Each structure stands twice: as structure tokens, then as C-alpha cells.
Structure 1
Amino acid sequence: MDRSRDPIPETINGSMGLRQLAGRLRAAYRGTDVTGRVAHFDAWTDRAFAPDTGETAYDHAKTVRDYYDLCGEFMVFGWGNSLHFAPLSSEESLEESQIRHQRLMIDKLELREGMTVVDVGCGIGGPMRRVVREGGVRVVGVNNSDLQLDKARSLNAEAGLDHMVDYFAGSFMDMSPIADHTFDRGYAIESTCHAPDKAGAFAEICRILKPGALFWGQEMCLTDKFDPDDDRHRAIEQELMHGIALNEIATMGEVNLALEEAGFQVIEGMDRAVAQNSGVPWYRPMETRRGKLGDIPYRIPLGRKALIGASRLAELVRTLPVGTADVIRLMDRTAMAYVAGGSTGIFTPLYCFLARKPL
């Protein structure tokens, strides 16, 4: 794997101003009723858990797609092109920590040049591009958001990697057009946490992997500190489920059981945020500007509030689409839930496992 020269980290938040963001938001929202879309998303839990809802009345995959289509550009604006959490260090920026975490995954997967790898829930392809560059492998990205796939295609072409990537537009719950035993390796970074049926998702991934293939996953989980009888814990859990479009939040043990039920052998699994023990919590960028992690003011509470106010004014003069501030308010609420879940120790987005499909 060639790491002799590392391209500039894929972050646009250092250079993308509000004017550029406005253009991207107009393209993403395409003249739709953004305020109405946010209100519809806000009510998803009512629809999903209504006692009289029929089995086919609620589509969680659509809720997840709505979430990313509404919030995706802001995620990139504030977080960079790798839309995932990583174990942090006070000596690194967020982007540098993400790169280190992606390289850990590459090493664990034992990638070899010429392999074909499936990226389950590829987003806009930040990790994918590192996997292709440093692993020398071909990647197929699976995603049910056309907006994210279009952006992944554009960024891959810009990076000169489009010849190494193919795409599957659809849900990872049903990848039936892909034949059994297709891929040498697979990974899923903060994607299968959205699955309405985790064992079902893992079973479908297992099906398309070759016998003996390794599978890396990063899941959002409840920790052993979560007390279902604690009202505060339950409230944080509900806020996280609502804001991130999670049908449920599994424990780490439940993730392992789902993997085994799907046919995988679990090689290792750990909360990487705890395992690193760097003293820097994974939610630090959303809480304070201290250290290298505080280079983006819009990530922290005061910055998010200021962005909401600025967006309201920009909506009045039609610089930003009407409803933009509602999206930021939704994301601010979710960020507060992340910090609450992390600071109480009841939630982690960094349960990372390595599993193998048996020979």
C-alpha cells in the first residue's frame, strides 16, 4: 500500500464559504419545500412507532435517505468529505484522525492489489478514495441516495479514481442484482446502524462476500453504562434515534449476535474511542474549539446558533433556500444529543468490529 505521498486531506470546509455552500444547497434542494421536508422528517418517529401502522406503511430507508439529502451538504461543510467519527488525538485535526482511522481499517482488512471491495453505504466516498489509493483495489459503492452517489462520482472523477469505482444505487437490505460470492472484502462505516433489521443487513452483506472474506464495520451503539430505567438515558436515546434516523440503537453485544446470526465469525470488536484512551472524546469537535480540533467554528454550539441566525437573514434576501435554518436547527439538536450521549458515556459511534465469512 503506497503511503509515501498523501494527497491533501479531503476537506472543503477550510475553503468553502457561505456563498459556495448556498449554491450547493440550491442544487441539493432543487426548489423543494425544505421547511415542509424538515417537518415531515421531524415526525418520522411518530409514523414509525404508531401502534396502528401497518407493516408496509412506513419505509425507514426513505427516512434515512431524506435525512442525508437534507443534511448532507451541511455535514460536508462542517465535517469534511469523510462523514464518520474517528478516535481523536489532541495532536491531530479531525481530518488527520479520520485518515488514521481509515488506515487502521485498511490494515485490518488485509487489502491486496487487484481485490474487489464493497463499500456498504458509501456516502460521498471519502473513505472509498483512500481505500482505492492505498489498497490498490476496485470498489463498488452501495448507496440509496442519488444525491450522495452523484457527489461521489464527481469527487472520484476529480481525484482521477473514477476508473476504479463502480456504484450500486439501492438499499443494502436488498442487493439481489449482485451475485453471491462477488467481493473479496467489505466494509460498512456508520451505515448498517440505519438498518431496520441488522441481522438481515449483515446476512445480505455476507451473501455477496466470497468465502473467507473479511468484513469491517463501524456501528453506533449503546454502551454498558446505558440504563433503560434511567429517564435521562432514555431521553438521550430517543433524541439520538430521532436526529440520526436510527430505527433502534443496538448494544455492542447485539451487534455481535446479529453478525453471528447472519453467518459471520466475529474476530474482534471494541469501542475504539475507549481503546485509544487519548483523553480526547470523540464528540469534542461539536463541543469546544480547543486544540487542532477547533478549526471550524460552525461545529460548536455558539457557531451553530450564529449560523442559524445568519441563515434566517440569508433566507429573507433569497441567498439561501427558505427552510435552510430549519435544517441547521435539526442538526444542532442532533449535535447536542451526540454530546449528551458521549459525555454520559451511554453512547458511542465507534464500535468497530472485524468479522470473517467462513470458508
Structure 2
Amino acid sequence: MNILLRNVMERLVRTGNLAIVDPGGSTHTFGDGTGPRITIAIRTQHAERAIGFDPMLAVPETYMDGEVDVVEGDLIDLLRIAYQNMGPSGLDVAWTRALESARSAFRRFQQINTTVRAKRNVARHYDLSPELYRLFLDNDMQYSCAYFESPDVTLEEAQLAKKRHIAAKLDLRPGQTVLDIGCGFGGLSLYLARNFDVDVVGITLSEEQHAIATERAHAEGLDAHVHFELRDYRDLSERFDRIVSVGMFEHVGVNHYRTFFDKCATLLKPDGVMLLHSIGRFGPPTATNAFIRKHIFPGGYIPALSEVLPSVERAGLMTGDVEILRLHYAETLRHWRQRFLANRERIKSIYDERFCRMWEFYLVGSEAAFRWQDLMVFQIQLTRSNSVLPITRQYMLETEKGLAEHEAAEPGHLPEKSSHSRMSEPGE
């Protein structure tokens, strides 16, 4: 084992039981021997050198390329050892700290998300085969954090609870107009129109999402109330009673926060309400994970609340409610990972082995970051006037309860989805 990698491993793994088989076949152990043994095999000297120099990027990349394998335990066990030893401050090795500092310094250049670049970035991820998403998402194709009211609920139940939770915070009234920024595959827009008799405009930059969402609205007979458009939020000029955005803010980029909230303030009527749902971090601002930025979400960024709220304030918006969802996304990702692995051979036939290994690491790494690092999800309720909403949260609780009772009374309202299902059409 080269000295660079040994230095990293000795500094990183103080607790746990990690074994590394180097390219020459020698086994090296790290940690205090507690817990189950995790063994990885490094197949090439290239991988050994790369991991020693830049482990945050090289471990997932060399795993993608088949140069590293987990031969005892699995990826989530490996990342648990790494993240629990690392802590939220990162890897305590001089050159890796320097690399992360450089990435933080250049993060604004990596997030210059013009309208052209934003569409290109979205296409890289969201315009993949729709079958891929059907193979690991819930039946409604919700590609964002679910809401687990208890640990034993299904993914379908948790995603339905998420929609109830968001709808309750919007305090909707029949006949109102709603803007869904980053509408995904259309599930939330359809849910709001179906349950509250509102008219919804959903916007996305993904052609695949737009096509599926439009088809779903037509299939449900909701064309008159739900309309999906391929538009950038910066191009809108209409005004709405309600604005909701779920899982889109991570793609805005820190350079554009003022633009985003200024635009939302102009689009929201004086007595309007907005609900922003986004991944965030407990710690201070930092750079996007190098692997995620390069291979999964180009142009993406997960903000600290300290970066978000100043732009909210400058836009003249008022923060009415903030909720932090801590482990909900870890559980969501666990379900996605299990479904992805159950359908791995089908996904491999759509793409290839390298793609499967890349997405395995993405799903596992994201789950691990929510469990053992500083990631969370925040929901911020915004208004333009502090007299728009009731002064207690009771209205939210009552709305959620009413929706749950209504859904429970509907026969077959929540079809189960087997984790081994190869394909299912969207819809509840």
C-alpha cells in the first residue's frame, strides 16, 4: 500500500473494523476492531494513488469503474465507518483539507446557472429513461424526500404523507391559482388540483418530466385545472395565490438566490403563501460533494440556512414557518436503494454496469450523508404579509388530518408497490 493512502486511512479510521486488500494482494487493517468487519479490494495502482490523493472523489469514481469492490459487508457499512470517523468537519488530512477549501472557493463559478446552462444541467439527470425512475420511485414518481409519520410505513404511504404535509402548509382555498416550480413528474400538482379544486401551473426544464406530467393530467381528466410547461422560473410574469417548490431549489445555485426570491416575491399575490422544500445542511456553507457535482447533479448546490434567509429578507418576503426534517430523507433513500438493487439487472439492460455502480454509490452516499453527516431537509413557509395565515399551526394539523381521513375512506386509494416490481405506471 502506498504511503499516501496509508496516511489517509490511519488518520481517518480510528474506530471500526476496516480491511483493505491492496493491488498486490496484501491485507491491511485499520480501526480499533469494533463492529463488523468491512473489507474492500483495491484492484489497481491507479485507484490506490487516486484515493490517497483525493478520497472524496476517487473512492466513488474508482468504484464506478470497477477498480474498487466491497468484498465483505456492503457500501452502506463502508460509508458508515468513513462518515462516523470523519465527522461533519470532513477528513482531517492536510492536502484533502486544501482540496476541499479550493472547491469551496470556486463553488460560485461552478454554479453560474444561466437559463441555457440550467436546462442542460437538468437534462443530464432528469431526462434519463423514465423507466429508470419507475423502477425505484413510488407509484406517484415522487423524486424528493418523503415524510415518515412512523418508521414502518411504506414508501407510497410516506410520499402521500409528504404531499399532505406540504398542502396543509399552503392553506389552500377552492378557485385559487398555484405555481409549482420544478413540478417533477407532476404528482404534487395533480394532488393539489384533485383535492382542493385549484388551478395549477407546473413548470420544469426536463422534457421527459414535462411529457409524463402532461400525459398524467390528461389521463386523470384534469387538463382544465392542471397545465405543465417547459419554462424557467425566471421567464414567468403571471401572479399566483400560492407557490410551491419541492426539490428544485438545490439546482438554483447560490449566485442566483436573490434572483429566485425576488422573482417569487413578484409572482406571489399580496395575500399569497409560498412553501419551499429543499435539501439543506446543518453546518456552515461549503462546496458541493465533488462526485455529486461531476457525475450526478452538475450545477447543484445544497445550502446552509444562513445562505438562504438573507435573500428571503432582501426580497421582502416574511418567514412564517420553518421545519427541519432530519432523517426522513435517509429513510427515503434507503427505500430507493433497495428498489434500485431489486431491479438492478433491468436497469443494467437499459444502461450498463458502470451506470449501475455510479447510481448505487449516489444513492448509498446520499443516504449515508443524511444519517451521519450534516444534511437535512428544510421547509420554509413564506408570505408577503404577516396577517395572511392563522397565528397557530392548528390549521395545518386539521388539514392533514382531514386529508388522511378522506384518503383512507377511498377504496384502493394507495396501491402497494412490490420492491421487486419491474415496471409500474405512474398514478395513485
| TM > 0.5 | yes
Q: Whose radius of gyration is greater, 1 or 2?
A: 2
Other-structure match for 1:269: 322
Instruction: Tell me how many residue pairs correspond in the alignment.
Output: 278
Render the CA deviation track for 1:174-219: whole Å, top value 9, x for unaligned.
224x33xx20001000112110312211221221111121000101
1:122 pairs with one of 169, 178, 183 = 183
Render the CA deviation track for 1:293-315: whole Å, top value 9, x for unaligned.
x5xxx723xx6457555554x4x
Letter in 2 for 1:299: R
Q: Return the offset for 1:347.
A: 0.6
CA distance in 2, matches of 1:52, 1:218: 23
Other-structure match for 1:25: none
1:24-103 correspondence runs (5 A):
59-70=117-128, 72-80=130-138, 81-88=141-148, 89-103=150-164
Q: Does 1:336 align with 2:354?
A: no
CA distance in 2, matches of 1:53, 1:188: 19
CA distance in 1, matches of 2:282, 2:300: 17
1:65-214 correspondence runs (5 A):
65-70=123-128, 72-80=130-138, 81-88=141-148, 89-172=150-233, 174-176=234-236, 178-179=237-238, 182-196=239-253, 197-214=256-273
CA distance in 2, matches of 1:332, 1:59: 26
Q: Return the offset for 1:97.
A: 1.3
Q: Does 1:354 align with 2:381?
A: yes
Q: Is the 8 A contact 1:123 1:152 kept in 2?
A: yes
Structure 2: gaps spanning 5 or more residues = 1-63, 66-102, 387-428
Q: Return the offset for 1:285.
A: 4.7
Q: Return the offset for 1:241.
A: 3.9
Cα distance 1:158–1:264, how it changes in 2: closer, same or farther (>3 A)? same
Render the CA deviation track for 1:113-167: whole Å, top value 9, x for unaligned.
0001000000111111111111110000111112111100111111221221123
Between 65-74 and 201-210, the greater mean CA deviation after superposition:
65-74
CA distance in 1, matches of 2:378, 2:131: 26
CA distance in 2, matches of 1:52, 1:251: 17
Q: Is the 8 A contact 1:86 1:273 kept in 2?
A: no
2:337 pairs with one of 289, 299, 304 = 299
Q: Is the 8 A contact 2:213 2:228 kept in 1?
A: no
Letter in 1 for 2:331: R
Q: Is the 8 A contact 2:330 2:368 kept in 1?
A: no
Letter in 2 for 1:123: G
TM-score where L is the length of structure 1: 0.68
CA distance in 1, matches of 2:259, 2:174: 30
CA distance in 2, matches of 1:220, 1:53: 16
CA distance in 2, matches of 1:123, 1:49: 26
CA distance in 2, matches of 1:240, 1:53: 13
Q: Return the offset for 1:246.
A: 4.7
Cα distance 1:271–1:155, how it changes in 2: closer, same or farther (>3 A)? same
Q: Is the 8 A contact 1:265 1:358 kept in 2?
A: yes
Of the two structures, which has the highest relative contact order with CA contacts closer than 8 Å and spacing of 6 or more?
1
How large is the Cα RMSD of the aligned pairs?
A: 3.3
Q: Is the 8 A contact 1:175 1:204 kept in 2?
A: no
Q: Does 1:219 align with 2:257?
A: no
CA distance in 1, matches of 2:326, 2:107: 32
CA distance in 2, matches of 1:159, 1:57: 31
CA distance in 1, matches of 2:299, 2:112: 19
Between 212-221 and 90-99, the greater mean CA deviation after superposition:
90-99
SS at match of 2:215: helix
SS at match of 1:160: coil
Cα distance 1:71–1:84, how it changes in 2: closer, same or farther (>3 A)? farther
Q: Is the 8 A contact 1:237 1:341 kept in 2?
A: no
Q: Is the 8 A contact 2:326 2:370 kept in 1?
A: no
Cα distance 1:270–1:245, how it changes in 2: closer, same or farther (>3 A)? farther
Q: Return the offset for 1:334.
A: 1.3
Q: Return the offset for 1:71.
A: 5.9
Poorly superposed stretches of 4+, deviation over 6 Å: 48-58
Q: Return the offset for 1:344.
A: 1.3
Cα distance 1:51–1:267, how it changes in 2: closer, same or farther (>3 A)? closer
CA distance in 2, matches of 1:52, 1:112: 41
CA distance in 1, matches of 2:274, 2:363: 29
Between 49-58 and 126-135, the greater mean CA deviation after superposition:
49-58
Other-structure match for 1:10: none
Other-structure match for 1:29: none
CA distance in 2, matches of 1:112, 1:355: 17
Letter in 2 for 1:357: R
Render the CA deviation track for 1:287-343: whole Å, top value 9, x for unaligned.
4xxxxxx5xxx723xx6457555554x4xxxxx4xx354443332221122112112
Cα distance 1:134–1:49, how it changes in 2: closer, same or farther (>3 A)? same
